[in-house]
Amino acid sequence: MPVPRPTQTVLITGASSGIGAAFARAFAARGSDLVLVARRRDRLDALAGELQAAHGVRVLPLAQDLSEPAAVNRITEALAEADIRITGLVNNAGFGTFGPFLQDDPGHLVLEIAVDVSAPVQLSAALLPALVAAGSGFLINVASMAAYTPTPRMAVYGASKAFVLSFTEALWAETRGTGVTVFALSPGATSTEFNAVVGTEDATAGARMRTPEDVVATALVHLARRNPGPSVIDGRVNRVSSGLSRVMSRRSVSSMMHRLTDPARRR
């Protein structure tokens, strides 16, 4: 008789749409059980039903708002109650605001940092030790091309993603030799609801968009590598632009990004 494959269970945040939902569909197609975290219960339930019917995997939807201080504790408590051992974590949830920093609501910025910075750190701290103890598994933290340059009109979002990139690359170094794969994934302009929610539709009009499926395919290829590096950028154009930004002066990059994010230039 064939030996049953050990069950893999992947926890994905921001799973109700976009890149998170694409990750969920990709891992379900590979036979992984899932824990899906997002704010929108109706969308989570619909996606869970779709994946269970299509692939016969088990899916636990957890409707949680990661801007709330107790959200990560509620997630870990739900995992313990359901006796679920996570073998992979995708920290994908994130949101931002578009506009001048001085005009933004300070309270909203605190919530943005909670989702984009605090939640990935807390979930990594909660779940990575068990992966290391088991000597297997993976952690994918979704950063952004915004991590590689200053991002005027999205100052906190860009800084948050720079944190995620640096944090993840440090974890990659700390976990080498443990059997756990850790890396940051940096998408560029992607055709998701993010642009409509954040208000960047004018600034990204005409940009060459990648699809969520493109982004996830890049991540899965990197995950399958024998010795994957600490980060991967989705898309050739994005990889080239990140290289150019590194050889330009900080003054030049900041000025260029200020022009590129000006909605008026698209009108």
Does residue 2 lie within any of the structural domains? no
Residues 6 or more apart whose Cβ sits within 8 Å of residue 30 = 8
Q: Would you give the DSSP letter of residue 261?
A: T
Cβ(39)–Cβ(63) below 8 Å: yes
Q: Active-site residue among 157, 172, 183, 194? A: 157
Residues in the chain: 267
Sequence letter at residue 59: V
Residue the block writes with tokens 């940009």: 207
Does residue 164 lie within any of the structural domains? yes
**How much is the pLDDT for 50?**
98
Q: Would you give the DSSP letter of residue 243?
A: H
Does residue 103 lie within any of the structural domains? yes
Does residue 44 lie within any of the structural domains? yes
Does residue 202 lie within any of the structural domains? yes
Cβ(259)–Cβ(151) below 8 Å: no
- What 3-state DSSP class applies to 182? strand
**How much is the pLDDT for 172?**
99
> From the CA atom positions of the chain, what is the Rg in Å?
18
- What 3-state DSSP class applies to 138? strand
Instruction: Report the distance separating Cα 36 and Cα 19, nearest Å.
Output: 13
Q: Which residues pair with 80 in a beta bridge?
A: none
For residue 94, the number of C-alpha atoms closer than 13 Å in the C-beta half-sphere is 30
CATH (domain of 217): 3.40.50.720
**How much is the pLDDT for 235?**
78
Q: Annotated catalytic, 157?
A: yes
Does residue 1 lie within any of the structural domains? no
**How much is the pLDDT for 190?**
86
Does residue 37 lie within any of the structural domains? yes
Instruction: Report the distance separating Cα 208 and Cα 205, nearest Å.
Output: 9
**How much is the pLDDT for 2?**
43
Total structural domains in the chain? 1
- Which positions of the chain have pLDDT values less than 50? 1-4, 195, 197-200, 203-205, 267
The DSSP result for 210-222, as a single string, is BPHHHHHHHHHHH
- For residue 83, the enclosing domain spans 9-266
Alpha-helix residue ranges (DSSP H) falling in the chain: 18-29, 41-55, 71-81, 106-113, 119-134, 155-174, 194-198, 201-204, 212-223, 236-247, 250-260
- Strand positions, DSSP E, the chain: 9-13, 33-38, 59-63, 88-91, 138-142, 181-186, 231-233
Max CA separation in the chain (angstroms): 66
**How much is the pLDDT for 103?**
87
Q: CA–CA distance from 214 to each of 32, 173, 187, 210, 233 (Å)? A: 20, 27, 9, 6, 11
Does residue 184 lie within any of the structural domains? yes
